[in-house]
Amino acid sequence: MRADLTLLRAVHKRRLYRRIADQLSAFIAIGNLKPGERLPSERDLARELGVSRPSLREALIWLQVERRVEVRDGSGIFVIAPKPIALPVLFGERHLPIEVLGARYIVEGEVAALAARERTSDDLTAIRQSFDAIRKAGSLGLGRDSQHREFHLAIAAATHNGALMAVIRDLWDAESRPRGKRGKQEVMSPLLGATLGDYRRIVDALDASDASGARAAMRRHLKRVAREYARNARSWQRSGRALQASMRFAG
């Protein structure tokens, strides 16, 4: 008995304007354009992206619908500040930085896995460039926490999911508060070599489109950093329990 192939539908490539919009969203998300800044002209954008201006206009219309940009008559197209995702319980002052790290362990592992499945060659290039910037700055003793943030945001951008990108940004910003930043810098500086090794394994998994490998590499990295946090935590019992509970939940 032959299968009825008429039940199958043609598989269509993703619409070009959506791919253009995704790339522009990622470009904005990793900080290349700040809220309130104007996008380059249509002509310049179309030339750099290698697309037609009509396709670019469709992408810009989509970004307007998604509330990523707005058109100001006579002035151009401007980036809109994203509305923060309300997570008041997680980011309340009573929570320790290591608790935020526990949340990152859960979320960023899955983000890395999704990025491995969804990333484009342009996404991978952006991630590699961010990794190279960290490596070069570290060799000169000029490493900055903001560079590590950009690396993780570049991975989040590779998911092409605006909500996930916003969550990762908010988690990193929560860790950058004065209360947690001092301890974080104490951890990152002497352990840069180990961090670069972690990042290399994450990048290699993303390059291979290995979702499970990317998830495992990201979680190994965050678990290692968590151990260093815990050594410096004043409230070891509370922070240790919170972290262990998060990591048991994530598996």
Kindly state whether residues 232 and 121 are assigned to the same domain: yes
Residues 6+ apart with CB under 8 A from 24: 39, 45, 59, 60, 63, 68
213-237: per-residue pLDDT in tens? 999 999 999 988 887 766 665 444 4
Kindly state whether residues 222 and 101 are assigned to the same domain: yes
The answer to whether residue 145 is domain-embedded is yes
Q: The domain spanning residue 217 has which CATH number?
A: 1.20.120.530
Token representation of residue 54: 């009509």
Domain that includes residue 194, residue range: 97-250
Kindly state whether residues 48 and 121 are assigned to the same domain: no
The whole-model pTM stands at 0.60
Residues 6+ apart with CB under 8 A from 47: none
Q: The domain spanning residue 24 has which CATH number?
A: 1.10.10.10
166-212: per-residue pLDDT in tens? 889 888 877 654 444 444 444 455 578 889 999 999 999 999 999 99
Kindly state whether residues 55 and 146 are assigned to the same domain: no
The answer to whether residue 115 is domain-embedded is yes
Kindly state whether residues 157 and 104 are assigned to the same domain: yes
76 φ, ψ (degrees, to nearest 5): 125, -160
Kindly state whether residues 146 and 192 are assigned to the same domain: yes
Kindly state whether residues 238 and 128 are assigned to the same domain: yes
Kindly state whether residues 153 and 231 are assigned to the same domain: yes
Kindly state whether residues 136 and 23 are assigned to the same domain: no
Kindly state whether residues 191 and 234 are assigned to the same domain: yes
Our count of domains for the chain comes to: 2
User: What integer pLDDT is reported at residue 93 of this predicted model?
Assistant: 47
Sequence letter at residue 112: A
Kindly state whether residues 155 and 213 are assigned to the same domain: yes
114-144: per-residue pLDDT in tens? 999 999 998 899 999 999 988 887 666 555 6
**Predicted confidence (pLDDT) at residue 155 exceeds the cutoff of 80:** yes
- Looking up tokens 């990333």 gives 119
Are the C-beta atoms of 214 and 201 separated by less than 8 Å? no
Kindly state whether residues 102 and 75 are assigned to the same domain: no
